[in-house]
Amino acid sequence: MLTGVSIIFGALVGSFLNVCIFRLPNGESIIWPGSHCPHCKKPIQFYDNIPLISYILLRGKCRYCKGSISLQYPLVEGITALSSLSLFLKFGASLSYFIYFTFVAALIVITVIDLHHQIIPDVISLPGIAVGLLLSLISPYITFFNSLAGILIGGGSLFAVATLYQWFFKREGMGGGDVKLLAMIGAFLGWKAVILTILLSSLIGSVAGIIIMVLKGKDFKYAIPFGPFLSLGAVIALFYQNEIIFWYLQLNR
């Protein structure tokens, strides 16, 4: 039963994350007004706002104006529900589940906003650094000093890379948002996970970037948001850090 509850809880949170994704880049309140159709502005009734189910029943259209509802809504709800389930299976009904679900939920919002607008809102990353550091005081998986080292190594390493890139090529290669995001990742996961996140995100980002540039016919100056790759790398590190490190050590024996 708790497994089902974790899925429902994740979907409900995913519905709220959609609100954050659409409103934060525009500086709008995430509390008021209530959910409404982006086309006709009519308020969405509670029975039309059930995560995943309402989208299917309404066939992806507003009940009133028949305007198209973005596929992003059910995708975010579904991904958040799946994330909640995966974290529950890993940590059970524990404090760690809620800590890391909060972390992953923040990464989902950051990823989608960065894909759409190529920005990472400070309103998420900066408080996320402080929250991650404070939660390390009660987390059984990370110490305060490991979290602090994660912040310094995460933020410091990307800041150094961004500074050197700008100095060599005379243009910005990595935004300050990425630096703060990696510092937040370090606060929640620690310094070892930061190093793994950098390696994984660089690898995945390089492959994806080359594919995108080939398909779109762009050169190497084409801007690709790095936040989604950092987020993906962090999630992989969260779930498989020990297994990856063990595999690497066995490979190099």
Question: Considering only 72-81, 86-95, 208-217, 227-236, which range has the smallest mean pLDDT?
Answer: 208-217
Residue 1: pLDDT over 70: yes
- Look up the pTM and report it: 0.91
Contact 180, 126 (CB under 8 A): yes
pLDDT of residue 44: 87
175: tokens are 């935004």
pLDDT of residue 211: 87
Contact 155, 183 (CB under 8 A): yes
Average pLDDT, integer, range 11-37: 90
- Alpha helix stretches (DSSP H) within the chain: 2-23, 53-57, 72-91, 95-117, 122-135, 144-169, 176-189, 191-216, 227-251
pLDDT of residue 217: 72
pLDDT digits (tens, 9 = 90+) for 111-170: 999 999 999 999 999 999 999 999 999 999 999 999 999 999 998 888 787 777 666 766
pLDDT of residue 11: 96
CB atoms within 10 A of CB 85: 17
pLDDT of residue 41: 83
Residue 173: pLDDT over 60: no
Residue ranges covered by each domain of the chain? 138-253
pLDDT of residue 170: 63
Average pLDDT, integer, range 90-94: 94
Residue 220: pLDDT over 80: no
Question: What's the CA gap between 21 and 32, in Å, rounded?
Answer: 15
Confidence of residue 171 (pLDDT cuts 50, 70, 90): low
pLDDT of residue 33: 79
- pLDDT: is 165 or 96 the higher one? 96
With the C-alpha atoms ordered 140, 245, 132, 160, is the resulting torsion angle positive or negative? positive
pLDDT digits (tens, 9 = 90+) for 57-81: 999 999 889 889 899 999 999 999 9
